[in-house]
């Protein structure tokens, strides 16, 4: 193998200098794109670190013991107290509260957690004096006994419960007042 070389040195010309053609070398990577890529990589690292921290916190919260007086437990105590009262387990509930802590049934009741509002149909008997125009006492009694309910209501309009002598009452039925 042979290399052809010019015999006359004047035929040799130097290759143009790269430095003279371009003042600054071109960067291999665009700096703006590199900065953006670094920011994306950092954001991903931060997100993965935060996800790992949240997974660990979730596991800790999922398995950690919850104190009996923690507000997140109140609904459990309320439900247990309601069942205790409905099923007559009040002594057992009270013993558990004495042993492990937690709100007593009275504490729950005082806070309004055990009682609900009910409408109760009640038969009430009271005595009032009605003014009736009649020619005798017996006629006045007969006239009151023959009054229609609307007439009785009309006669009661001028009376308040302060004017009535309460004689008896009897609850008939109840329903939750929602």
CB 97 within 8 A of CB 65: no
Question: pLDDT of 157-176, one tens digit each?
Answer: 877 777 778 888 888 888 88
Which residues touch 97 (CB under 8 Å, ≥6 apart)? 103, 104, 105
Q: Which has more confidence, 178 or 73?
A: 73
**Average pLDDT of 23-36?**
80
* CA neighbor of 108 nearest in space, from 69, 84, 70, 77: 77
Question: pLDDT of 56-94, one tens digit each?
Answer: 999 998 888 889 889 989 999 999 999 999 999 999 999
Question: pLDDT of 110-140, one tens digit each?
Answer: 999 998 888 999 988 888 888 889 999 999 9
Residue 106 has pLDDT above 90, yes or no: yes
10 Å Cβ neighbour count for 132?
13
Percent residues over pLDDT 70 in the chain: 85
Strands annotated E in the chain:
118-127, 165-176
Per-range mean pLDDT, top range of 19-28, 30-39, 74-83: 74-83
Q: Indicate the pTM of the whole model.
A: 0.47
**Average pLDDT of 89-116?**
93
């Amino acid at each position: 193998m042979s290399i052809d070389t010019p015999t006359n040195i004047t035929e040799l010309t130097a290759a143009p200098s790269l430095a003279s053609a371009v003042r600054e070398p071109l960067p291999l990577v665009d700096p703006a794109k590199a900065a953006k890529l670094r920011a994306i990589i950092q954001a991903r690292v931060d997100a993965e670190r935060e996800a790992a921290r949240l997974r660990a916190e979730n596991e800790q919260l999922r398995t950690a013991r919850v104190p009996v007086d923690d507000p997140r437990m109140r609904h459990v105590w309320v439900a247990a107290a309601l069942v205790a009262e409905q099923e007559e387990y009040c002594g057992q509930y009270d013993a558990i509260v004495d042993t492990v802590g937690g709100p007593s049934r009275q504490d729950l009741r005082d806070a309004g957690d055990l009682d609900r509002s009910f409408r109760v149909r009640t038969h009430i008997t009271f005595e009032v004096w009605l003014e009736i125009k009649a020619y005798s006492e017996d006629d006045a009694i007969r006239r009151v006994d023959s009054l229609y309910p609307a007439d009785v209501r009309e006669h009661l309009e001028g009376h308040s419960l302060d004017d009535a002598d309460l004689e008896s009452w009897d609850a008939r039925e109840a329903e939750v007042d929602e």
